[in-house]
Amino acid sequence: MHDLIPGMTTRRQFLRAGLGACALLAFPAAHANIISQRSEKRLDMLNLHTGERVKATYWVQGRYIPDALQSIDRVLRDHRSGEQHAIDPRLLDLMEYLRYRMGRVQPFHIISGYRSPATNAMLSANSNGVATKSLHMQGKAIDVRLPGVPLATLRKVAISLNVGGVGYYPKSDFIHLDTGTPRNW
């Protein structure tokens, strides 16, 4: 197959890059301007369940990097079933900007990324804190903490971005981030 765009050999990669290019639209104008002025976006994440770490530059000069996105998808897979799903680039941008705002270099600690429908159903049946139609099942939600940052501070800054959902789970030591409508709980 001929490259649609150099470095993007499949229709899926092309579509994903196109959708990702629209990700800045989800950010308020002031945040989008800051993000768009940077030449690269990087994330460093440690999956606490698998011990896997990904340190990736996933966006360079206005383009998402398909190989980096695939590496991120692999680390954020459902650790119970091994199922993998594309992670919404807007979620990655939200995390990257949050980390930038916090001035941190430590990796995000990942509690939960993508969840298969079966895993989500099992968790939902055992806890009233798990939504039956969770955005985790669409690769649009993640549960994280950032070492060295008080959870309440991370929550406050995430809410101030007014980009998506922010859940606060201090007893479990994480916040939930998603790319749904702005809301918090």
pLDDT digits (tens, 9 = 90+) for 48-68: 999 999 999 999 999 999 999
Q: Which amino acid is at 126?
A: N
**Per-residue confidence (pLDDT) for residue 82, from 0 to 100:** 97
Condensed to tens digits (0 to 9), the pLDDT of residues 90-109 reads 999 999 999 999 997 799 99
Asked if 120 contacts 137 with a C-beta cutoff of 8 angstroms, the reply is yes
Condensed to tens digits (0 to 9), the pLDDT of residues 18-35 reads 554 444 444 555 445 445
What 3 state SS string does 76-115 have?
Answer: CCCCCCCCCCCCCHHHHHHHHHHHHHHCCCCCEEEEECCC
β-pairing verdict for 141-145 and 53-60 = unpaired
Cβ neighbours, 10 Å, residue 164? 24
Q: Which of 57, 82, 73, 91 is nearest to 12 (CA)?
A: 73
Q: What is the DSSP string of the chain?
A: ---SBTTB-SHHHHHHHHHHHGGGGGS-HHHHHHHHTSSEEEEEEEETTT--EEEEEEEETTEE-HHHHHHHHHHTS-TTT----PPPHHHHHHHHHHHHHHT--SPEEEEE----HHHHHHHHHH-TTS-TT-GGGGT-EEEEE-TTS-HHHHHHHHHHHTSSEEEEETTTTEEEEESSSSEE-
CA distance 68 to 137: 21
Residue 80 has pLDDT above 80, yes or no: yes
Longest dimension (CA), the chain: 51
CA distance 162 to 181: 9
Residue 113 has pLDDT above 60, yes or no: yes
Residue 171 has pLDDT above 50, yes or no: yes
* Domains of the chain (ranges, CATH numbers): 11-184 (3.30.1380.10)
